Chain A
Amino acid sequence: MSEAPGRTRVASVLVAGTTAVVVALLVRAFPDLTVPVAVGATGAALGVTALWLAVVVDSHAGGVGAGLLFVPAGIGAIGGPLAAVMLLVEQTFPVEAEALLSVGLLSILGHVGVVLGCSVAVLGAVFTLQDAATGAVERGMTVVVATAAVPGVAGAGFLLVGVLTGGTADRSLVAPVAGPVNGLGGPLVGLVPNWLFALVTLAAAVPALTVAATRLQPRVGSRQVAGGIAAGLFTTVGAVALAEWVYAEAVAVALRRFPEDIETDIGELSTDMAMSVGESAVVLTALVGCLGSVGLVLLLLYLGQVAGSRSARRIGASLAAAGTFLGVVAAATIGAGTVLVVGGVAASMLVWDAGEFGETLAREVGARDTGRLELVHFGGTALVGVGGIAGALVVVGQLPTAAVDTTPVETVALSSVVVGLLALVLALR
C-alpha cells in the first residue's frame, strides 16, 4: 500500500534544484574535486536507490538488489573523500617547510569537507526526491548488516586460516578452485570486453540470487535479510575472484599519489600484507569497511530520526541543507569566492525552509493545489535571502584587504558585531 506524498512537488524541486546548483558551483570553483565529488555523489544516489528497493520492492529480489547496490554505495561513501585525500596529498606533499605542514593538513581537511558536504547534500536531495517511506532507514540497516555478514565471516575465516596454517587462504583455499575455473572461463573472458562480461554475469546472477534468497527465507525469517545474505554471497565470491587485481590496482594508485620518499615503504608494506594475510582477506576487509560506512550513515540517520522525532521524509531536506552548508563553509576555508560562500549559505537556508515547509504542508492539507501558497512563502524566503546576501557583500566590500588576519583589532570588532547581533536577536526572542 502506497503512502501519501510526504512533500509537495514545488518543495521537492526547490530542494533538489538548489542543492544541484550549489554542488555544481562548488565543483566549478574547485575543478580538481570533480572526480571525488562525482564518486561520493554517485555512491549517495545508489545508497538511496538501494533503500527504495528494500522498502518499495518488498520482495526477495528487492532485498538482493538493495544488498548489491549498497556495495557501490559504500565504495562511493569512502572512495569520494579518499580520492580527495589522495589528490591533495599528491599536490601538497612534500612541503617546503615544517611550519607549512599544518597548512597543508588544513587544506586537505577543507577539500575533504567540500567532498563530504556535496555527497551529503546529494544524499539528502535524492532522499527528498524519492520521498522515503516510513521504515526505510530501519529496513536498509537490516539489509546492510545481512549483506556485510557474509564477507565479514569469510574475511575472518581467511585471516584465521592464515594464522593457523602460517600461509594465506589464497594459496590454500582459493588457488585450488581458481585454477580450474580460470581454465573453463579463460577463453570466454578473452572473447568479450571485461565490462560486458561483468554486466552479463550480474544480469544472470540476480535471478539466481533471488531464487537462493527464496530458499533461505524460511531459515532467516525475513525477505530482506535473505536477499541481503544472497547479495553478500555473490559479492564475497566476486571480491575473492577479483582480489588480486583490485589489490594490485590499489597499490599502484597509492604509489602514484604518495611522495617518492615513502614509495618504497608503501611497496614493502603491501607485499608483507599480501604474503601474511593474502589479497583476498584485505579486499574482504575493505568490502566490510565500505558496507560498514553505509551502515554507519544509516545508523546516524536513524538516531537523527529518533532524537529529532522526525520522519524519514523530513530527514532528506535537512541532510541536503546541512550538506550544502558544510560544503560551502569548507569551501570558504580553502579560498572560495565571497559570493559563492554567502550565496551558498543563503541557499542552504532556503533548502532547509523548503523541506520543512513542504513536509508540513503535505501533512496538513495534502500535496495538491498548493502552488500559490508555496509561491508566496518561498518568495518571501528568497527575498530575505537576497537581502542577506546584499548586506553581507556590502560588509565584506567595506573591509580593508586582509582585515581579519592581519589586524586583530578589526577582527575583534567584527566578531563583536556578530556576537552583539546574536545577543540582540536572543533578547528579542
Chain B
Amino acid sequence: MSTNRWRVGLAATLTLTGVGLLFAEPALLAATIVPLGYVCYGLVSRLSGSPQLRATRTFDPAAATPGEQVTVRLRVENTGDGVLPDVRVVDRVPGLAVVEGSTRAGTALAPGEAATVEYTVLARRGDHEFDPPQVRLRSLAASTVWTTELPVETTTLTCRTPARDAVTEALLAQFGHTEDTRGEGTEFYATREYRRGDPMRRIDWRHVAKTGEFVTVQYRDQQTDRVAVIADARGPGRLPPAPDHPSGAALAVDIAQRLLGALDRAGVPAAGGVAGLDPGAELADPSGVAWASADDQPSRLLGSVRGHLDGQPGRTTTPTGTDTPEAARVVTRPDGGLDATARALLDRVPTGAQVFLCTPAVDDWPVRVGRALAERGHELVVVSPAVTGGDDIGLRVARLERRQRLQVLDTVGETVDWTPGDGLGGSYE
C-alpha cells in the first residue's frame, strides 16, 4: 500500500516557487529541487520484490506450572534476497500478563538476517493459543507499507499442575512425616458407593462378590489422617495483583493440590480442606468450608475448587464470608478473634495432625488460624505463594505487611515463602 507521506514536499515546492517569483529570488527557485527530490524519492522507494519472512516461536519452559514465568522468543528471519529496511513485529499474547520485555520490535534486516522478540509472561492454568504475529514492512522512504501475519508452528502454551514436581518433594523432604502410620486400631466406620479413583484396598470385595456392586469401605479416619492440607481461598486472596495475573487464592489451592498429590504418592493419608468458598457453593458447608478426608479424594476436591477459581473475578467478600460489614468487624472475642469459617475449619482438623496451611497471607486471618492450630497442639507449616505484579506503592506496602505476618507465623510453626517458578524461599527466622 502506498502512502502520501511525501506530499508535504509538493506544498513546499509550491511555496518556494511562489515566493521565489514574488521576490525574484533565484535561490528559492533553485531550492525547489530539494522538496521535489523528496517527492521523487517517495515515489521510487518500493519494497524489493515480494518480501519473504519466516517466524519461529519458542517457550521456555515448554510446559509451565501456574504462576511460573515463561520466556517467549519469537525469531523473524529475512529469507528473501532483498534488504528489508523497516521491519516491525508485534507478537500477540492471549490474555497473559507480560512481566518483562516487550512484545514489539522494529529493525532493519539484510538477507539471511534475523531479529528476535523476547519477553516473559506469567503462566496461568490452561492452554493458551497465541495468534500469528503481525509484521509491518516499509520501504526506505516509508512511502510503501505492507502488513501481514506470519504463520508460526508453535502456538500453544500449556500450563498444568504437574503430577510430580520438585517444589512439593522439597516441602515434604523438609517438613513432612512420610511414614505410614495407619496401623492397629483402624476401625470400620461405614460403606459408600464406589467412586472412580478410590484405592483398590478400600473396596469391599465381599460385597462385590455377593451383589456385583462396588462399594468403598470407610474407616474411622479422623484419627488416622496424620496430615491435613488446608487451602485459603477466601475473597481477599482472590483479587489478582494486576490484570491477567493469577490470584493468591488460586496459587494457594494449586500448591495445596500438589502437596496432596505428593503425600498420596508417599502413601501418607492426608485430609484436605478449602476455606472461604462462597456460601451456598455445592461443596461447601454454610461456613464456607469444604473438607475431604484421605479416603474422599481431597486432591479431587481441590481440583474442583481450582477450576472454579480460574478466571473468576475477585470477590471482595468480608473475612467471615458474609456480605455484612458489621459481621466482619471482629473487635474482641474470647476465642481469639476467630470467625465462623476458622472455627469450622479447626473442628475438622484431625487431632494431632500435622497441618500444611497454604495461604497468600493477604490479611490477618491466617495468623489467627495459625495461632489457634498451634494452641491445639498441631504442628504447623505455612506455605505462602508470593503474589507478584506491579511495583506501585500499594503493592509494596502489601508485600511488607505480608512479610510481617509470615514472621509472626514463624513463631508458632514453620513458614515457606514460595515464589512460583523460583523454587522455595527460606523460613523466616
Contact = CB atoms under 8 A, between A and B. Distances in A.
Q: Do A and B make up one complex?
A: yes
Contacts of A337: 27
Interface stretch (B70-78, B135-143, B328-336): B135-143
Interface in B1-59: 5, 8-10, 12-17, 19-21, 23-41, 43
Given A333-B25, A352-B8, A384-B41, A342 B36 contact: no
Nearest to B41: A384
B27 A376 contact: no
In this complex, the interface size class of chain B, counting residues with CB under 8 Å from chain A, is 35 or more
Contact of B90 (A365, A368, A388, A418): A365
A387 interface: yes
Contact of B86 (A376, A387, A393, A418): A376
Nearest to A395: B30
Interface in A351-393: 352, 356-357, 360-361, 364-366, 368-370, 372-373, 376-377, 380-381, 384-385, 387-389, 391-393
A403 interface: yes
Say which size band chain A's interface belongs to. 35 or more
Contact of B35 (A341, A349, A357): A349
Given A345-B35, A349-B34, A365-B88, A414 B29 contact: yes
Given A329-B19, A380-B141, A369 B105 contact: yes
A254 interface: no
A380 B25 contact: no
A215 B165 CA distance: 63
Interface string B355-394: 0000000000000000000000000000000000000000
A285 B79 CA distance: 69
A396 B25 contact: no
A377 B143 CA distance: 11
A151 B149 CA distance: 60
B152 interface: no
A91 interface: no
A213 to B, nearest CB: 26
Contacts of A426: 10
Nearest to A368: B102
Nearest to A356: B5
A349 B17 contact: no
B120 to A, nearest CB: 15
A373 B86 contact: yes
A415 B25 contact: no
Given A364-B88, A372-B108, A332 B27 contact: yes
B104 A345 contact: no
B26 A391 contact: no
A419 B17 contact: yes
Contacts of B27: 332, 336-338, 341-342, 396
B43 A428 contact: yes
B106 interface: yes
Nearest to A400: B26
Contact of B104 (A346, A366, A377): A366
A325 B13 CA distance: 11
A370 B107 CA distance: 6
Contacts of B24: 404-405, 411
B85 interface: yes
B37 A384 contact: yes
Interface string A300-326: 000000000000000000000000010
B23 A425 contact: no
A349 B15 CA distance: 13
Nearest to B32: A418
A198 B30 CA distance: 52
A219 interface: no
A246 B30 CA distance: 47
A194 to B, nearest CB: 45
B106 A329 contact: no
A414 B26 contact: yes
Contact of B40 (A381, A393, A425): A425
Nearest to B37: A388
Nearest to B89: A365
Which of B27, B87, B108 is most buried by chain A, counting CB atoms within 10 A of its CB?
B27
A422 interface: yes
A346 to B, nearest CB: 5
Contacts of A360: 142
Nearest to A389: B34
Contact of A329 (B16, B26, B43, B107): B16
A376 B25 contact: no
Interface string B190-217: 0000000000000000000000000000
Contacts of B36: 388, 418, 421-422, 425
A404 B13 contact: no
For the complex of A and B, list the 8 residue pairs with the smallest distance between their C-beta atoms, beginning with the closest. A388-B34, A388-B37, A405-B24, A365-B106, A365-B104, A338-B27, A392-B30, A396-B30
13 contacts: A325-B15, A338-B27, A338-B30, A345-B35, A349-B34, A365-B89, A365-B105, A368-B102, A372-B107, A376-B140, A380-B41, A380-B85, A395-B33
Given A106-B23, A349-B34, A403-B26, 15 more contacts: A336-B27, A341-B31, A345-B31, A349-B9, A361-B106, A373-B106, A381-B141, A384-B38, A385-B34, A388-B38, A404-B29, A414-B26, A418-B17, A425-B10, A426-B10
Interface of B: 5, 8-10, 12-17, 19-21, 23-41, 43, 85-90, 102, 104-108, 136, 140-142
Interface of A: 106, 325, 329, 332-333, 336-338, 341-342, 345-346, 348-349, 352, 356-357, 360-361, 364-366, 368-370, 372-373, 376-377, 380-381, 384-385, 387-389, 391-393, 395-396, 399, 403-405, 411, 414-415, 418-419, 421-422, 425-426, 428-429
